[in-house]
Amino acid sequence: MKKLINDPRAVVDESVEGFGLAHADLVTVFPDPKYIVRKDAPVAGKVGLVSGGGSGHEPLHGGYVGMGMLDAAVPGPVFTSPTPDQILPATLAVNSGAGVVHIVKNYTGDVLNFETAAELAQAEGIEVRTVLVNDDVAVQDSLYTAGRRGVGGTVLVEKIAGAAAERGDALDAVAAIGDRVNQNVRSMGVALSACTVPHAGVPSFELEDNEIEIGIGIHGEPGRHKIPMETADGITDRLLDPVVSDLGLASGDKVLLFVNGMGGTPLSELYIIYRRAAQRLAEQGVTVARSLVGDYITSLEMQGCSITILRLDDEMTELWDAPVHTVALRWGV
């Protein structure tokens, strides 16, 4: 294991500290319990948005804290849920009185800990709503969860619900648009190589030299099957078809096409995947109205990618286009 780290147990502490130093204009980092808050939080009258989860998926979630997206992010240890004693103060810190929405990826630990934190916050008089993200079509139930896993769709939920909160939508409305994004978004991923959790020191799973795993999770947890290496176009089809089918996409639909890198894949390869996906969608009469290509929800240094498609309506498109000022997504400001 070669990593740019000091002590494997200090990876999250030191990384988040560096993040805070680099982006002190945008965020405030609280070290213990650890959470990251938008510099100007709480924003008067605005619904607060909090997300979080295990670390190792950077820039998720800290990179999405800022105007038009999250008010706070709560990083757990690598691939491990944050605890209620982190989530609660983050929730309190972003509450302006308008209530707080928790955006939670569907993993058992995250769900339980955000639920506990929500109950504690409610006991202090803060209204909390939860948007559960479960967009991964690869598997039902998995190593870390019951039901579908939350993956790439999370970035889109955070952006669009964040824009709704920023324009002044009330608590239930922000949660409702977050749910609507989740209902209209699906993803599937592939791994070409495993990743190594720093404190474990060995790869999370095994792949032969000529083998890939279709339907991989963002923690390297098992997908649908291992198959021999294929062309990029072949792999794209294997990811795209289940997403399109599960979403029930039809000719005339408008979508956001998001090709995400897992951390160790060159950007040039993501554009080869994008090319095929865009061509296939065009053949089916689906309009790619918005695009996102890059490393937005990663699995440490894993080689691979995921394809996420969001069926857009006019309101979601408008909220996607709304100004955002975070470390990892920024436009209009």
Using CA atoms in the order 164, 167, 171, 173, what is the torsion angle rounded to 10 degrees?
Answer: -50
CB of 101 to its own copies, least distance (A): 25
The answer to whether 188 and 239 are in contact (CB under 8 A) is: yes
Q: Give the binding range for its own copies (CB under 8 A) out of 90-98, 166-174, 240-248, 276-284.
A: 276-284
Among 303, 310, 306, 284, CA closest to 293? 306
The answer to whether 204 and 195 are in contact (CB under 8 A) is: yes
85 binds its own copies (CB under 8 A): no
Kindly tell me which of 101 and 207 has the beta carbon lying closer to its own copies: 207
CB of 169 to its own copies, least distance (A): 25
Q: Residue 26 has which token pair?
A: 């945008």
The residue type at 196: T
The answer to whether 117 and 237 are in contact (CB under 8 A) is: no
Selected from 85, 115, 179, 233, the binder of its own copies by CB under 8 A is: 233
158 binds its own copies (CB under 8 A): no
The answer to whether 194 and 220 are in contact (CB under 8 A) is: yes
272 binds its own copies (CB under 8 A): yes
Selected from 28, 269, 284, 317, the binder of its own copies by CB under 8 A is: 269
232 binds its own copies (CB under 8 A): yes
Please say if 199 is a catalytic residue: no
Q: Give the binding range for its own copies (CB under 8 A) out of 106-114, 128-136, 295-303, 307-315.
A: 295-303
Catalytic residue among 23, 57, 61, 102: 57
Burial of residue 38 (CB within 10 Å: 0-12, 13-18, 19+) is buried
Kindly tell me which of 147 and 294 has the beta carbon lying closer to its own copies: 294
330 binds its own copies (CB under 8 A): yes
Q: How far is CA 194 from CA 1, 265, 303, in A?
A: 12, 12, 7
Please say if 102 is a catalytic residue: no
Catalytic residue among 23, 61, 102, 219: 219
CB of 66 to its own copies, least distance (A): 12
291 binds its own copies (CB under 8 A): yes
Q: Residue 202 has which token pair?
A: 């060995």
DSSP 73: E
Among 183, 201, 299, CA closest to 3? 201
CB of 5 to its own copies, least distance (A): 5
Q: How far is CA 106 from CA 14, 136, 144, 233, 279, in A?
A: 27, 10, 9, 30, 31
Hey, which residues between 104 and 143 contact its own copies (CB under 8 A)?
none
197 binds its own copies (CB under 8 A): no
CA separation for the pair 166, 237 (Å, rounded): 37
How many positions of this chain bind its own copies (CB under 8 A)?
62
Among 78, 282, 309, 114, CA closest to 195? 78
Give the catalytic positions in this structure.
57, 219
Task: Name the residues that contact its own copies, by CB under 8 A.
Answer: 2-6, 11-12, 14-19, 21-23, 55-56, 58-59, 63, 192-193, 209-210, 212, 229, 231-233, 235, 257, 263-276, 278-279, 288, 291, 293, 295, 298, 300-301, 303-305, 330-333
